[in-house]
Amino acid sequence: MKRASSTLILALLTTLPAHAASCSWSAKMEEDEGGRVMTASVCGGPKGDAHLMLTCFERPMLSYDLGAAGGQLEPGISGSFTFKAGDKSLTKKLELEAMYNYFTTELSGPTDPLLALLRGKGDVTVSADKYGEASFSLKGSGPAIGKVLAECGKGSGGEAD
């Protein structure tokens, strides 16, 4: 029994750091329904299956995929989500993009307060009463977000609305 417990603990300890390392911010070209678009993303949440994604056409657009915790959501819903990093927090209303089952919000531009919060250090926790909370690392967020913002307004990649 002791050996089985030791093996399980060892397996968990060797799995967790690899999983955590794979949840750093990155920016790369991804396919969108209108073509390729620069996307910054990070995974997080208790199972690592939640995602924050940033794209930009005319203005930056933040998407939040709840992962398996979200299940299949009803079209037309929205929710107030609080983003907290360090001693700063802000609340944004996000609308469900039914086609992808992500919550989204259009940001005001490169100086949007939410982008400033996401460029911080440590972690950001995203929470909503109805959907629980998920934490995401901010490691590498500044350069990844910068790559996306550099592409704002440069191509059609998809529809702006």
Q: Give all domains of the chain, ordered by start, each with its CATH number.
A: 25-150 (2.60.40.1880)
Q: Are 91 and 81 in contact (CB under 8 A)?
A: yes
Instruction: Report the alpha-carbon distance of residue 159 to residue 124 in Å, rounded.
Output: 29
- The amino acid sitting at 148 is V
Residue 66: burial class (beta carbons within 10 Å; 0-12, 13-18, 19+)? buried
pLDDT of 155 reads: 57
What is the per-residue pLDDT for 73? 87
**Cα separation of 142 and 26, whole Å?**
10
Per-residue pLDDT, 161? 34
Cα 63 to Cα 2, 7, 29: the distances in Å are 45, 39, 16
Count the neighbouring beta carbons within 10 Å of the beta carbon of residue 145. 23
Residues lower than pLDDT 70 in the chain: 1-22, 155-161
Cα distances (angstroms) measured from residue 5 to each of 8, 53, 55, 118, 121 = 5, 38, 44, 39, 36
pLDDT reported for residue 75: 86
Tens-place pLDDT, residues 35-64: 889 999 999 999 999 999 999 988 999 999
Q: How far apart, in whole angstroms, are the C-alpha atoms of residue 120 and residue 82?
A: 16
Distance CA 110, CA 142 (A): 12
Which amino acid makes up residue 142? G
The pTM assigned to this predicted structure is 0.81
